[in-house]
Chains A and B, each alone.
Chain A
Amino acid sequence: MKEYDVIGKNVRRLDAAEKATGTATFSTDFSLPGMLHGKVLRSPYPHAKIVSIDTAEAEKLPGVKAVATYQNTPREIFNTSATMAFTVPALEPVLDQYIFDNIVRYVGDEVAAVAAVSEKVAEAALELIKVEYEELPAIFDPLEAMEPGAPDIHPNCSAGKNIPGEIVKIPFGDVDKGFVESDVVFEGRFKLPVQKQAQLETQAAVAQVGADGKITVWSTTQTPHPSRSILAKVFGVPESKVRVLNPPYVGGGFGVRIGLSAKAEPIAVALAKLAGKPVKVVYSREDDFIASDTRHGGYVSIKLGSKKDGTFHAMELKGTLNTGAYCSFGCETPGVMGAMGLAVYRVPNQSYYGHSVYTNTSPAGAMRGFGNPQAMFAIESAVDMMAEKLGMDPLELRLKNIMQVGDPWCLPYPCQSTGLAECIEKGAGSIGWDNRNSLNQPGAKKLRGIGAGVGTHVSNAWPFCVDYDNAYLAVQQDGSIHLAAGVPDIGTGTSTTLPQLAAEALGVGLGEVSLTFGDTATTPFDIGSHASRTCYAAGTAVVAAANDARRQVLEYAGDFLNVPPERLDIKGSVIYITGQELGEQCAGTGVCQTGAGTSVCETGEKRNSVSLRDLAYHAHLRNKQFIGVGRIVPGNAPPWQAHFAEVEVDTETGQVKVLKVAAAHDVGKAINPCIVEGQIEGGVLMGVGYATSEEITYDAKGRQLHNSLHKYMLPTAEDAPEIDAIVVEASDPTGPFGAKGVGETGLVPTAGAIANAVYNATGIRFYEIPLTEEKVYRALKQRV
């Protein structure tokens, strides 16, 4: 195996010192001279027409500088999410939002906004805005919203009642024939909850409109370049006159700001234009809960057919997802749900049918896993039940059917790597799989159980959505490296792993590399941070840029050392002739610095090497800089995961305590193993919350019942199980140095593994998560 100098090592994150000392700046920390503060008035009704708005009293309040409504802001229709503007042809983008509209479609929908000298004054002004509403019928359940008598939430739903965009259909083989030929068939329907990203920094933006009309927005977006495109369209200005940047850190993302940060950016810009001053909009935690995208809840149905020997023969998957009041990613999420759901197992006959449905609830969009955790809760529960029907060990059944390299599958790119079998083996070892049926003493009140789940994911969005990357890398006049990439660092370590990749590809130390990121004005276009793509896809562009610069360096050095460039290599910022002793190192004070550098040193000795520092300066004195450009369309590659959960179910209270999760992940080459483990661990705990406690529900009037961190039950440190993150490296030929995605994968099979563990403990099969105390207690009582 090739030895690497910079990648594969647990170097300290390059952003760690700033973050550990409190000097790292986030959007919520950012301010400008003369800056005003914006606050948003939100609808108290789930569906209503605005009959009139009177802002006169609010405008009179001292300190108020602007009030924005649908009457004085652009009426350009858009979608807050990024890839909707970037879907590959065949899926028509759904545009269904205005900054403000005269119809409100969920409790929390934007009605008006105020810019004032302080947040307190802005909040006081909101109270003075008089709005007359005419209530309209509202609907909250996606199945009910599809019924003929349900209210229409948006016009032009050509695919079906309240169905945005198109229905996703993935055919593969002949599924009807497949079920006829199957010996055993399982069928079931599963219900999924609404989960919230609950990233620590709420949605925020600071907007400045220059005297020349240029717009600058500092914000929490995960995708600065696509966000710039959306804002340019909404405000009718050329993209070149809009700058979107992170300042430069973002307090988490998990999908909630792929595109705009809910409406923080357009509201801040609209207010800044009206007030003629910079405006900062920071969502309160309640704003963030009720008025920014959630994970899609809804229903997943599965029918699985198998031969007697356990060979899967047919699978049918259907998804009906609740996308809330606006589409957001409501078209892509059912697509990923189907594509990933069908990709895990080798099944010759498959079909998927899925779509979203509008309801009068908070919009659902992207959240870590993007439809995949929903699919895999259903599929991994079904596979466990199939194993029981067949009388097989669930792991044996999975090992028999999992996708292998070269297998035909429904995805538009080949499966070129899988370490799933190794993940299963290592995870099973960590959890003690063989003990799973001897964990409990007869009569025990607390029952233990072990369950497993597996899954896969993408490493970027191509070829499902437009997805490409650019990067440039410039060797500075002293031989150090400046790298520019348009991706942000939302906490996933981009600002460390991209420099690691550049340093490795070029042959320099990590300390030589500096990265500019998350800024449309100083970086070339990049789709941004989503779809587990940043290291894989932006990393591919960075490696391409480094290779381009390296080629230029070696050509120049070839002339300098009088050898063909092919004979040269770079290591530790020294260009040397391979197979020869390095020879004397120039200290940079001699011939090179005077500009008379030759391949013969001052000592008269022929040189076998030259430092990048000397070479770059030598070139500089001859009016030349080495600048590498990477322009790539990434491939795609499947990361694989096997999760094993051990739970303890208290039969007297119904409490499900997750004791341990062994999470074995094939991530391809781990560029920074510590960062990879961190991604897995964080994803696993978010998955534990998804499986056991996290859910947003609504009352009969469409109001969220879980609109704060206190009410929304996400895991704290005291709730966290032991997590054993196991890294498996099945290198993929399409990734930078073999790397694949990992950002979302920790969530994918977690709920399935936990539900299967609860079944192993109690013998009760749950078709719905989260497995709250109440739900489990009721099921235990019902059984008695």
Chain B
Amino acid sequence: MSVKTLSFILNGENTVVEVALSDMLVDVLREKLLLTGTKKGCGKGECGACTVIMNGEAVNSCMVPALKAEGAIVETIEGIGRPDKLHPLQESFMDQGAIQCGFCTPGMIMSAKALLDKNLTPNREDIREAVSGNICRCTGYVKIEKAVSVAAKQIRENQ
């Protein structure tokens, strides 16, 4: 099995890791870099649990060959807040009751962050479209939509 070196910026840090040609980004994140916050729910790009942000775009990391991340800027759930200063989306997901089983939560928050990084005044349709690739079977999406909307307001007020 041929192995290559992948260099990229992961959560703000230069990261170098040996990967196989067939490795997908999700498996490199979870198994080689032990960042298990990114979840794997289907391996086929159908559930969104593995969503990370790559070069500013939300992507299903199970559909990204790891070597495609060469030189890229990748953000995962572990990189968007610190325990003493969480991202407003993390705060709002907790406050609004948008978290139940929690398995979709990291991917959901990353999709929402990719939206808010570009659009701080999203309407309901913008929010629903942004998370439409993220399946949540617990919440009915009601409190997730609310949480994204509240976080957008919070970020606007902080600016």
Binding site for B on A (CB under 8 A): 10, 12-13, 15-26, 28-29, 120, 197-202, 249-254, 284-285, 490-493, 674-675, 677-678, 681-686, 708-710, 714, 716-718, 720, 723, 725, 746
Contacts and interface: CB of A to CB of B under 8 A. Distances in A.
Residue of A22, A251, A492, A720 with highest tally of chain B CB at under 10 A = A22
B42 interface: yes
B97 A491 contact: no
Interface string B71-107: 0000011100101001000110111110111111110
Contacts of B138: 200, 252, 491, 678, 682
Given A19-B105, A681-B140, A685-B140, 11 more contacts: A15-B99, A16-B99, A17-B94, A21-B83, A28-B39, A199-B101, A199-B137, A674-B97, A717-B141, A717-B145, A723-B142
A710 B78 contact: no
Given A678-B138, A708-B44, A22 B100 contact: no
A200 B128 contact: no
Contacts of A716: 132-133, 135
A22 B142 contact: no
Residue of A21, A200, A675 with highest tally of chain B CB at under 10 A = A200
Contacts of A709: 41-42, 44, 46-47, 135
A490 B100 CA distance: 8
Contacts of A253: 101
Contacts of B93: 16, 20
A252 B94 CA distance: 18
B41 A677 contact: no
Nearest to B47: A709
Given A28-B40, A252-B138, A201 B101 contact: yes
A493 to B, nearest CB: 7
B46 A285 contact: yes
18 contacts: A16-B94, A17-B86, A20-B94, A22-B78, A24-B102, A120-B22, A199-B101, A199-B137, A200-B104, A200-B138, A674-B97, A681-B141, A685-B141, A686-B137, A709-B135, A716-B135, A717-B131, A723-B140
B85 to A, nearest CB: 11
Q: Which range holds the interface residue count of chain B?
A: 35 or more
A315 to B, nearest CB: 32
B87 to A, nearest CB: 9
B137 A249 contact: no
B135 to A, nearest CB: 6
Contact of A22 (B22, B37, B145): B37
A26 to B, nearest CB: 6
Contacts of A723: 140, 142
Contacts of A710: 44, 46
Contacts, number: 172
Interface string B41-77: 1111011010000000000000000000000000011
A718 B93 CA distance: 19
Contact of A201 (B95, B103, B134): B103
Contacts of A15: 99, 102
A709 B46 CA distance: 6
B38 interface: yes
B114 interface: no
Given A22-B35, A22-B36, A717-B141, A493 B46 contact: no
A285 B30 CA distance: 18
A197 B137 contact: yes
B139 A284 contact: no
B152 interface: no
Contacts of B76: 22
Given A20-B93, A22-B78, A681 B103 contact: no
Given A20-B90, A710-B46, A681 B78 contact: no
A119 to B, nearest CB: 9
A19 B137 contact: no
B144 interface: yes
The 8 closest A-B pairs by CB, nearest first: A22-B37, A491-B101, A19-B102, A251-B103, A681-B140, A22-B77, A685-B140, A29-B36
A276 to B, nearest CB: 23
A249 B83 contact: no
A6 B147 CA distance: 24
A710 B41 CA distance: 12
Given A714-B135, A717-B132, A252 B101 contact: yes
Contacts of A249: 101-103
Contacts of B128: 717-718, 720
Contacts of A492: 100
Contacts of A19: 99, 102, 105
B102 A21 contact: no
B139 A681 contact: yes
Contacts of A720: 128, 140-142
A681 B142 contact: yes
Nearest to B96: A674
A285 B47 CA distance: 10
Nearest to B103: A251
Given A26-B39, A717-B132, A200 B137 contact: yes
B94 A13 contact: yes
B129 interface: yes
Given A200-B104, A718-B132, A720-B142, A13 B137 contact: no
Residue of B36, B37, B103, B131 with highest tally of chain A CB at under 10 A = B103
